[in-house]
Chains A and B, each alone.
Chain A
Amino acid sequence: MGIAIAFKDISKHYGEVSALKQVSFSVEEGEFFSMLGPSGSGKTTSLRLMAGFEQPSSGSLSLLGQEAAGTPPYARDVNTVFQDYALFPHMNVLDNVAYGLMVRKMPKAERHALAQEALAMVALPEHGKRTPAQLSGGQRQRVALARALVNRPRILLLDEPLGALDLKLREQMQVELKVLHRKLGITFVYVTHDQGEALSMSDRIAVFNHGRIEQIATPRGLYHQPRTRFVADFVGSANVFAADVAQALCGKRQSFAVRQENILVSAAGSAPIDGALLMPGELLTVQFLGASQRLEVQVGSQVITALQADKSSASSSLIESNLFEPGLPVTLQWRAQHMVLLDD
């Protein structure tokens, strides 16, 4: 498999503001590549550079092995699904989907047949004669997808395509997108600020922050081996401890992260697990989440969050009672292998 997209030392400035600072990475052909980060982190700018809506201030960008800087959007073998769908309001759904083919001067009957096929692929075969205004948000999303895919691009860019949908529809579309990606075998580049979305769909994820890439890894790699404080916090909200805490615990002077679910909270004085690292604290709040509960514990000046199974059950007498009450002195413990040392 070749390289679909390569960024080499790309910077992008808007006046005084720099949106991307010397970013280099590459996306392989056929990969589901996500760009994850908060707003203003540079992920959308990167996508717009790939689409050709913006030109890099410096650096080189190649698409499918060819230098792409200076190539206008209409000359790129790339199609985009926009966050707000960007369907043409003055055309019906079928003409929207057939637009790319119309531009290529394909005869009407032929392009309508292909557009109809694409609509069937996104499960909207009956909706061709409607206008975009007559569709629901989820349906518009599918039309936007069909409109991009009907051109058989080798790279599909998706700019937070599920951002405007409600949770249930979003989860359903995540599965459908993943199935579609496997079926088509083309490169998907997916921009999102939702870490759950990125983790569940991607082959690899690039985490953006302040115009730089903090880390590129597989979802599991990113989750279990975050390299920086930002990644540890942004992906799965791990607890990040300062370097001096590590020095007191195990002698190494380096900040580290521990995932919420890897911290065990028990009442102070109960027997510790063998070889676990211990830390005393005071329980602040308990949130019942169903299968689990989230505990917040004050440790010195820091608040640590732990996620653990909820022990109450329908048959027990513990339904209304809880072992944990705010104010309780507790011990936090975790195994050394769950400490992830961070660069920063």
Chain B
Amino acid sequence: MTEASAMASTALPALPTLNHNWRNSLSTLLYQRRTLTLFLLLLPPLLWFGVVYIGSLFTLLSQSIFTFDEMAMSVSAELTTDNFVSLLNPANYDIVLRTLGMAVAVTLGTVAIGFPVAYYMAHYAGPREKGFFFVGVMLPMWASYIVKAYAWTVLLAQGGVIYWVLRQLGLLPVLEAVLRLPVIGGDTLATSNLGRFLVLTYIWLPFMILPIQAAIERVPANLLLASADLGAHPFKTFTSVLWPLAFPGVVAGSIFTFSLTLGDYIIPQLVGPSGLYIGNMVYTLQGTIGNIPMAAAFTCVPIVLITLYLALARRLGAFNAL
């Protein structure tokens, strides 16, 4: 025994001793006081979110019940519900409906295009291919938003690439027939709701693909096989197994596409027919007229819509699997 330990001590070099400097003492203090550690970790984000972010949002929203004097063009702290009441007059109501309709359409469009891509990425792509897809999906996000928006105005213009391709294919009459349809149509693609829909769908698509991809990746492939094994056709497997399990991802993605469309004010200016969106209205009210109370009332609309949407998604069981 003593011989063995003597041998070991001669054979092995001595380990350096742990030194107890102030850094170690601090680590030990944080190790022993878990609450203090967590408090220190959370303090910066709490300050940022709680004070700067939520605080300023609340300040803005609270203005919605202030009074705007149109004669004096000034805001006074007299409390009123007039701003919300005037949201209901047809001119304003139209703006809300127009924006909401486009937000719903863009959300559905991005789901329709994004889901197959996300499914392929999650269940079929190998590691290299998946990397390629991730870069491919996110690459457009690296370019400036305004550049992409202007690029689309060129693409959609009457002398643009899309018109040229359709003319070469002899499909121009089809486009013209589509553009004659009410609501989605217009004089040209660049001034139609269809064109605006295409641009918004393109711009927000990555925000839909990524959450759906993450959700589908958590669905074991065996569940889809089990469904087929139990007699379900692919369509039934999709509606009964894949879609319900991927739904939280769809909801997460649609929160992005929905709220980003509700808040956009540049694309509605550059592409599509005339007619304001909520974002344009807020911009005009605040920037041009200085009617901050009415702008704040308009700002409440997307918040209320998203809240209603989340409540609905919750009732549909979107968050049960989380």
Contacts and interface: CB of A to CB of B under 8 A. Distances in A.
Note whether A and B form a binding pair. Answer: yes
Interface of A: 51-53, 72-74, 78-80, 82, 84, 86-90, 99-100, 102-104, 147-148, 151
A210 to B, nearest CB: 25
B226 A82 contact: yes
Contact of A74 (B233, B241, B245, B320): B233
Given A73-B225, A86-B225, A99-B232, 17 more contacts: A53-B228, A74-B230, A74-B231, A74-B233, A79-B229, A79-B230, A82-B226, A86-B222, A86-B223, A86-B226, A88-B226, A89-B321, A90-B245, A99-B240, A102-B240, A103-B230, A147-B230
Contacts of A78: 229
Contact of A80 (B226, B245, B317): B226
B236 interface: yes
Contacts of B223: 86, 88-89
A86 B41 CA distance: 39
Interface residues of B, number: 20
Contact of B222 (A84, A90, A99): A84
B125 to A, nearest CB: 16
B225 A100 contact: no
Q: Quick one: which of A73, A84, A102, A147 has the most chain B CB within 10 A?
A: A73
20 contacts: A52-B229, A74-B228, A74-B229, A74-B232, A78-B229, A79-B230, A80-B225, A86-B222, A86-B226, A87-B226, A88-B223, A89-B245, A89-B321, A90-B317, A90-B320, A99-B232, A147-B230, A148-B229, A148-B230, A151-B230
A90 B244 contact: yes
Contacts, number: 64
A99 B244 CA distance: 14
B228 A151 contact: no
Nearest to B233: A74
Interface string B113-129: 00000000000000000
Contacts of B317: 90
A72 B231 CA distance: 9
A278 B236 CA distance: 68
